[in-house]
Structure 1
Amino acid sequence: MRVLMVTPGTRGDVAPMAGLGSRLQGMGYEVAIAANPAYAPLVVESGCEFRPLPGDLTELIRQPAPGAKAAGGSVLSFWRKLSEYMENAATGTLAAAEAGADVILANSVAPYAFDVAEAFGIPAIGAHLQPTEPSAAYPPVLMNSARSLGPLGNRIIGERASAGPAPYDAPSARLRKALGLKKETRAAGERRRRRAKAPILHGISPTVLPKPTDWHSGLVMAGYWWPVLKPDWQPSADLVDFLADGPQPVFVGFGSSAHIDPDFILESTRRAGVRAVVQGVEGVLGDDAIGIGSVPHEWLFPQMGAVVHHAGAGTTAAGLRAGVPTVGVPVYTDQPLWASRVAALGAGPAPIPYKKLTPERLGDAVKQAVNTPSYALRAAELGGAIAKEDGTVAVVEALRSL
């Protein structure tokens, strides 16, 4: 069976799918992954075929330093650029499917993949890293907030957000017209699939976010999909020496969500009295800190005393699997939800919204994270539970059912 994964977005969107694809390849499936060109090496290293989706979302979504104003552009300008990105992704999805596929797995920002699948007469399955389905259990992730509106409010606002305008609406409409499909809005298509209880697999641990009771039977919390650790990868000698030369440090990194000056971070970690591994700048940063580039979280996080990050889905998962406390600094979309889940599960202190981040607040949160025994104990318990889950099983069952 030829499986096409459609994964527009950042590295955090592609890496879990590449890991899942690698495991499916080992089971005899032929997997191709459609992603932005920047992630071609990641896809190829996983053993999957790469198919390009034009564009790069990273610079468009990266946030300025806390307290700084965003450079150039209004909300309207941002929406236009995001719509252009989705238009290119939709065009690339059609080309990727034309190269051959028996089934499409589409992430949460690729609804146009369902239109392409319909035109080609092949099935499509949602493969999401975020819980985008309306539910009483949580507020919609598009609100950029984890503040509950109450069960009824969460459900109503979630349904309205799902039916509201989105940057992929126009690409979906254009594709349907070009492919000779009957006119149907993106929101209407999603409602139709919801009524049919169409499958959507979520690469989310049910230990971290149990399946809401108001979800239909086709919505599955499969468990996390882990990125592939390259067998020949080796850490730098400087990093190995730093880790061995003192107490466990704290990891601080914000992925593609934001850039924070290393001096800001070091002021925070020194305030907390901890050593630091800072992602985003490479080289020795003093006796108590080192900067790193891309280092597998699977290898690095278990050696940390705590992890500080933007609470993206994949990074949150990696921190919990490692069994270490987390300080969440959510920036946007689903990140507030994951940061709040970590705190609610007792694996770290209350999150700090990115816009309210200061060296003092971050330093105090880090100090709390590393000096509160219950956080480490609870994180270890969660890590043990997550280790028993296999997110691939539900995916294979769904594919075999086709």
Structure 2
Amino acid sequence: MKIGLQTWGSHGDIRPFVALANGLHAAGHEVTLVVTCVDSDRYAALQASLPYALEVVASPVEPDRAALERWGAALVAERNTSKQMRWVIERLLLPVEAEMYQASERLCANNDLVIGHYILHTVAIAAEKQGRPCVSVALAHGAVPSAFQPPLGVPNWGAFSNRLAWRLARWVLNRDFKRYADRLRAQQGLPPARDVIDTVWASPDLTLLACSPVLCTPRPDWPAHVRICGALDTPDSVAEGSVPEPLQDFLSAGAPPVYLTLGSMMSGSQEAQTLALLAEASRAASVRAIVQAPSGVPSGCANDGQLHFVSAAPHASVFPRCAAVLHHGGAGTSQAALRAGVPSVVLAYTAEQELWGRELQRLGVAGPPIARRSATVAKLAAALRQVTQSEPMRHNAQALGARLAGEDGVASAVGLIEETFAHRLARPVVGA
């Protein structure tokens, strides 16, 4: 098949699509991947090295670091989940919607099948307009309604309460977000969408949930087109490079350190202040620490025997050599820490990240997630001491890491795509 993929967001939203594109190419399909990164142009450097076509569109969406700082501070302070999401869409998606939609139209015109990020409505609209089958990829299982789980940010008080909560959540989501898709649909001569979840974000052809079955089992009331494929990741580095020699030396020079990374949240969230918080918490907890600082070693800091700053590092190579990982609760980082067999501390900025933090807590490999807006040196230090000194957490993490080691989410996703679409798209043999 000729398959086009399109994603938008941070590194955590792009890396899974790179992994899936790799898997589809290895399975013999002709692949084109379109990416839009909100805060970086790093993916342009990969174009020459990949075995399939990579198109980078409107990246970075926001090149102004000061603007990202202001936006990140507002995101941290906001408690309303819907407002957080609306800010993300209005500031980081809508400004480049036209360019992404043009790319979506090209993908649909040139491919048999398209695959898109769950909330990237341009792909679904272009596919509907051109009559192309479409796959939606969600990176968090909390996005799919079920009586067996509440909406993001809502306590789980049982099936009856969850059903009521989802009815309200649908109303809020349709009120706040359907209009964006409906505006573009109207421009393309299409009628308004019936429901933002069922007919804009999810695909009735196939919706893949890129979550490990260890973290999420299928809900009995999910529709048949919703399938869990497992985490989409690759053991190869994607834009991080290899392990730098100074970091190798630090890893070998003493007890296993903790790794502190807030991913793309760091670039828009008062980096200097946050790095100081992480460094002080590490020293207060008396742990060796690797601190991921996108801008390098911050002013007033220096690498020493206890702290080592890196701008980036391949998590798959470094996490297994650590005692624990403090992270923001992104889908990819949460599952990378679990796969590495190490406990977590989750410092969450959004409701979706709190979901991952609660899942890791439920599995016994993390304490309660800490909201970034209420984080203090004392809270983080106590959490770091807990995860590095807890034998049950270490044991649970190692056992779950061994289970995840046997999973191949990319192979599962490729199999589900082929199973769903190959017979519908098979070309007749010439001369038959």
TM-score by length of 1: 0.87
Q: CA deviation at 1:337?
A: 0.6
Report the CA distance between 1:381 and its aligned residue.
1.0
Query: Are 1:237 and 2:245 counterparts?
Result: yes
What is the identity, as a one-letter code, of the residue corresponding to 1:335? Q
Q: Partners in 1 of 2:156 and 2:46 — Cα distance?
A: 37
Instruction: State the Cα deviation string for residues 373-394 of structure 1 (Å, max 9, x = none).
Output: 0001001111111111121233
- Cα offset for 1:162? 3.5
Q: Deviations over 1:271-293 (max 9, x none)?
A: 11100100015344332111011
Q: Within the alignment, does 1:256 sit opposite 2:270 as a pair?
A: no
* Aligned partner of residue 9 in structure 2, secondary structure: coil
Q: Which residue in the other structure is 1:6 paired with?
A: 6
Matched with 1:148 is: 156
> Which residue of the partner structure matches residue 374 of structure 1?
392
2:180 corresponds to 1:180: no
Within the alignment, does 1:282 sit opposite 2:286 as a pair? no
What is the match of residue 214 of structure 2? 207
Q: How does 1:2-401 map to 2 (within 5 A)?
A: 2-36=2-36, 38-41=41-44, 44=47, 45-54=49-58, 56=60, 59=68, 63-64=72-73, 80-82=90-92, 84-85=94-95, 87-88=97-98, 90-97=100-107, 100-131=110-141, 132-141=143-152, 145=153, 147-163=155-171, 164-165=173-174, 169-181=178-190, 183-185=191-193, 187=195, 190=198, 198-227=205-234, 229-230=236-237, 233-258=241-266, 259=271, 260-280=273-293, 281-283=295-297, 284-400=302-418, 401=420
CA distance in 2, matches of 1:46, 1:374: 42
Cα distance in 1 between the residues matched to 2:237 and 2:201: 37
Q: 1:192 to 1:66 in 2, by over 3 A?
A: closer
Bigger mean CA deviation after superposition, 157-166 or 293-302: 157-166
**What is the CA deviation profile of residues 312-357 of structure 1, one whole-angstrom value per residue up to 9, with x for unaligned ones?**
0000010000000101111104111100000110012221111110
Contact kept? 2:23, 2:411, Cα under 8 Å: no
Per-residue deviation, 1:42:
6.9
Q: Give the letter aligned to residue 270 of structure 1.
A: R
Spell out, residue by residue over 1:48-79, the C-alpha distance to the aligned partner (whole angstroms, 9 max, x if none): 32224425457389633999899xxx989776
Gap change, CA 1:91 and 1:65, over 3 Å in 2: closer
Contact 2:262 2:327 (8 Å CA) reproduced: yes
Q: Which ranges of structure 1 fall in alignment gaps of 5 or more residues?
A: none
SS at match of 1:85: helix
Tell me if structure 2 keeps the 8 A contact 1:22–1:228.
no
Change (3 A) 1:288 1:166: farther
Shift of 1:16: 1.1
Distance (whole Å) between structure 1 residues aligned to residue 14 and residue 211 of structure 2: 15
Task: Figure out how many residues of one structure are paired with residues of the other and give that number.
Answer: 394
Instruction: Kindly report the root-mean-square deviation, in angstroms, between the aligned alpha carbons of the 2 structures.
Output: 3.1
Rounded to whole Å, the distance in 2 between the matches of 1:168 and 1:218 is 23
Q: d(CA) in 2 for partners of 1:228 and 1:358?
A: 34
Give the whole-Å Cα distance in 2 for the aligned partners of 1:353 and 1:126.
29
**CA shift at 1:202, angstroms?**
1.0
Rounded to whole Å, the distance in 2 between the matches of 1:324 and 1:211 is 25
Identity of aligned residues (%): 25
Deviates more, 1:28-37 or 1:184-193: 184-193
Q: Retained in 1: the 8 A contact 2:258–2:287?
A: yes
Deviates more, 1:261-270 or 1:8-17: 261-270
Taking the aligned partners of 1:69 and 1:116, their CA distance within structure 2 comes to 33
Give the residue type in structure 1 aligned to 2:283. Answer: R
